[in-house]
């Protein structure tokens, strides 16, 4: 069904100005896209209508346009034409193979991938039923959109009007005064009191269990252990060999290679945390991967840019208002999307009656 091929990796210093192509790395964030680039050369260019596979988290992402790759990225090529619904269906199937692929050495990934067996729907002729995939995804989307509409209304998230402070934060962002700060001056970087081995704990408890995963806010599940080993709430969890960062609003336990970032001179909340995580993620984007790159000594020395108020101090109020504005703009897009989707779904349903 698929071919798996090596990509010829490029380092970030080879990227050029432009936004025509995506530059794909092993990151699990942003659909694997580290940044955009202009045309570099034809030799390194990967074709569209393929999947990228990053050999860190083993995430599959479908690529709608030609793309360039960093190091340790594979290209998955389908042996048949696909519609949008079947692409989404197969992407889910492919990502179900993460556990298998993560259990083998990188050098064995290609062979293991080729020999994985998957289950797919078939039609009356015993052929892969791509029409079923398409209709299944369409029905699932309609159901989820209706649920989202109900949630937005129940949670009062349909109010996306920006306040004066939020509008001001958006308009001033480009020309705001920024200052450079060491992470070690901003945060107290703590090692958790105890590391809990996922193979030796029982899930289904009360407290979040935070690991290096890039999904679900870093939470693998919930456990109940000695509360003396809980990490503080309103902190940022940091995966040392993945540079994945998440705001943790509640007390939590951790797995291996997690550090806890506690803001020194200000009470952290979700808005300010998301702003800080964004600028720190950008600062770490040029680092090489590997746990040795992110030890405490290096973490303390990493520098980030933050907005300053007229007194030359870090402007936490600006951060708060800016993130609130961004959230409302996203909510607005979601509301408009759901409205259009619901109208389209009703139109399709009525035309089939």
Domains of the chain: 2-119 (3.90.220.20), 137-162+321-351 (no CATH), 177-314 (3.90.220.20)
Confidence class for position 150, pLDDT limits 50, 70, 90: confident
Residue 349: pLDDT over 50: no
Residue 353: pLDDT over 70: no
pLDDT of amino acid 141: 77
pLDDT, tens digit, for every residue of 208-231? 999 988 889 999 999 999 999 999
Q: Smallest Cα–Cα separation from 25: which of 245, 329, 284?
A: 284
pLDDT, tens digit, for every residue of 81-116? 999 889 999 999 999 999 999 999 889 999 999 999
- pTM metric for this prediction: 0.58
Confidence class for position 172, pLDDT limits 50, 70, 90: confident
d(CA 71, CA 307): 34
The residue whose two tokens read 């520098």 is: 303
Rg (CA), the chain: 23
40: Cβ contacts below 8 Å, ≥ 6 apart: 10, 14, 15, 16, 21, 68
Distance between the two ends of the chain, CA-based, in angstroms? Answer: 37
pLDDT, tens digit, for every residue of 276-329? 999 999 888 766 544 445 788 889 999 999 999 999 999 999 999 999 898 888
What proportion of the chain, given as a percentage, has pLDDT over 70? 91
Six-digit token pair at 328? Answer: 């409302």
For residues 142 and 291, is the Cβ–Cβ distance under 8 A? Answer: no
């Amino acid at each position: 069904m698929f071919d798996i091929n090596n990509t010829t990796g490029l380092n970030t210093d080879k990227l050029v100005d432009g936004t025509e192509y995506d530059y794909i790395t092993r990151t699990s964030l942003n659909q694997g896209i580290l940044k955009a680039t202009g045309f570099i050369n034809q030799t390194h260019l990967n074709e569209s209508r393929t999947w990228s596979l990053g050999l860190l988290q083993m995430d599959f992402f479908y690529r709608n346009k030609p793309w360039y790759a960093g190091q340790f990225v594979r290209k998955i090529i389908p042996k048949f034409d696909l519609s949008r619904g079947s692409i989404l269906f197969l992407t889910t199937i492919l990502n179900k193979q993460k556990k298998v692929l993560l259990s083998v050495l990188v050098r064995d990934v290609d062979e293991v991938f080729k020999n994985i067996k998957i289950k797919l729907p078939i039609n009356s002729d015993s052929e892969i039923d791509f029409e079923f995939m398409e209709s299944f995804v369409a029905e699932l989307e309609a159901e989820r959109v209706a649920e989202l509409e109900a949630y937005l209304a129940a949670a009062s998230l349909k109010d996306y009007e920006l306040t004066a402070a939020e509008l001001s934060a958006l308009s001033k962002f480009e020309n705001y005064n920024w200052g450079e700060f060491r992470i070690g001056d901003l945060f107290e970087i703590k090692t958790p009191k105890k590391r809990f081995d996922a193979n030796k704990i029982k899930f289904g408890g009360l407290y979040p269990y935070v690991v290096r995963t890039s999904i679900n806010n870093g939470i693998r599940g919930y456990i109940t252990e000695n509360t003396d080993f809980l990490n503080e709430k309103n902190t940022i969890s940091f995966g040392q060999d993945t540079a994945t960062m998440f705001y943790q609003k509640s007390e939590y336990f951790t797995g291996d290679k997690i550090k806890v970032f506690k803001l020194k001179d200000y009470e952290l909340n979700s808005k300010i945390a998301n702003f800080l995580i964004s600028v720190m993620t950008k600062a770490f984007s040029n680092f090489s991967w590997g746990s040795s790159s992110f030890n405490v000594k290096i973490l303390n020395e990493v520098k980030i840019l933050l907005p300053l108020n007229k007194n030359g101090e870090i402007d936490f109020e600006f951060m708060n208002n800016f993130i609130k504005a961004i959230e409302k703009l996203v909510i607005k897009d979601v509301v408009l999307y759901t409205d259009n989707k619901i109208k389209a779904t009703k139109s399709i349903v009525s035309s089939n009656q």
